[in-house]
Amino acid sequence: MRTWRQWILGSLLIFFIGWAMGCTAPPTPAGENFPTFTPAGTLVLYRTRTPSPTPQASPTLTLPLPSPTPTPIRHVVKKGEDMFGIALRYGIAPQALLEANPTVNPRVMSVGTVLIIPAAGLPTPTGQVPSPTPQPLVLGEPVCHPALDGGAWCFVVVQNPLEQALEDVVAVIRVSGNAQGELLERTAYAPLNLLPAGKRLVLSAYFPAPFPESPQVAAELRMAHPVPAEDVRYLPAAVEVEQVQIASDGKSAVIGGNIILGESSVTAQVLWLALQAFDGAGKPVGVRRVDMPAPAQGDQSVPFKATVYSAGAPISSVEVLVEARP
């Protein structure tokens, strides 16, 4: 009986030992390496800055800087000077000088009167401005006459061969021959705005000192505009010269006569005379504009008497032109 129990207990013990050994993982054979998975890296979360969009620059309104304004020159009138001659001396249009001094009466301008000389020119525009086409006029040979102050008066005659009146006749006179080899240039203006058909005007320009002793002088027409036949800015007028008295030295001439205004119901508010002097060779030696009293009614005769002076050779002949405007 005891033998039987021992045999049963031994069998159970052997069974449990075998079962336990079957559940154990088999040993890894020696000398064999199996690959193992190693993570490439650890994913780490970071907070990065998102670039903000660059704001576009707002359009800036650029205001142009003001151009420097030329300072007007003040001229004190001396004995023997008139407004027209002063305008020519400074190279500006006589009308511009009148407009710059509206309170000054050129007919009674006294010695010591202070005149404001406006700027001779305007700023050059940025764009291309077409220049007026010069009319086919006859330009004479320019001549220059030395002045007492070391400068010179230069004249050039412009002839209108057309059957149409012209206005705003302007030329340029160029002088070379000084020690520095510079080319001097001045604008030559006419004594009147109007150049009638078949007539001529003496244009003048003043060159300040020093003036070359042996100058080479040339002239070029700068501008001339045709006047339409129906234009009402000019009134019909004519001149009757009754007296021409030339001084014994030929340096001056007194001209007298009448201005005849045509039939018109319009009153002439502006009445100008151009006195032009020529030497024995027909070259211009002097020019003067005379402002006549205004207003003057149409179909009226206005007497005048004025003097023109020579800047060079003795005066041999004179011519008178008139301009009347409402």
Q: Say if CB 289 and CB 272 are below 8 A apart.
A: yes
**CA–CA separation, 256 vs 139, rounded Å?**
29
C-beta neighbour count of 179 within 10 angstroms: 8
Query: For 198-225, what is each residue's pLDDT tens digit?
Result: 999 999 999 999 898 888 999 999 889 9
Q: Is the pLDDT of residue 148 over 50?
A: yes
Amino acid 3: pLDDT:
56
Q: What is the mean pLDDT of the chain?
A: 79
pLDDT band (50, 70, 90) for residue 156: very high
Query: Residues with Cβ < 8 Å from 210, sequence gap 6 or more?
Result: 150, 178
Give residue 129's pLDDT.
Answer: 38
Class of domain 71-118: alpha beta
Taking residues 112-124, report their average pLDDT: 69
Global confidence as pTM: 0.63
**What does the pLDDT read at residue 17?**
58
Neighbours of 166 (CB within 10 A): 23
pLDDT value for 157 = 98
Backbone dihedral region of 220: left (phi > 0), alpha (psi from -120 to 50 degrees) or beta?
Answer: beta
Percentage with pLDDT > 90 across the chain: 45
Mean pLDDT of 293-302: 82
Integer Cα distance of 199 and 275 in angstroms? 13
Mapping DSSP onto H, E and C, the string for 149-205 reads: CCCEEEEEEEECCCCCCEEEEEEEEEEECCCCCCCEEEEEECCCCEECCCCEEEEEE
Residue 244 pairs in a beta bridge with 255
Rounded mean pLDDT, 249-257 = 97
- 237-246 and 200-207 as β-strands: parallel, antiparallel, unpaired? unpaired
According to CATH, the topology of domain 133-229 is Immunoglobulin-like (2.60.40)
Q: Say which CATH class 237-325 falls into.
A: mainly beta
Q: Which of 105-114, 151-160, 242-251 has the lowest mean pLDDT?
A: 105-114
Domain residue ranges of the chain, discontinuous segments joined by +: 71-118, 133-229, 237-325
pLDDT band at 36 (very low <50, low <70, confident <90, very high): very low
> Could you report the per-residue pLDDT of 157-204, keeping only the tens digit for each?
999 999 999 998 999 999 987 767 788 899 999 999 999 999 999 999
Topology match between the domains 133-229 and 237-325: yes
Give the dihedral sign, CA 87/88/93/94: positive
Per DSSP, the three-state class of 14 is: helix
pLDDT at 264: 74
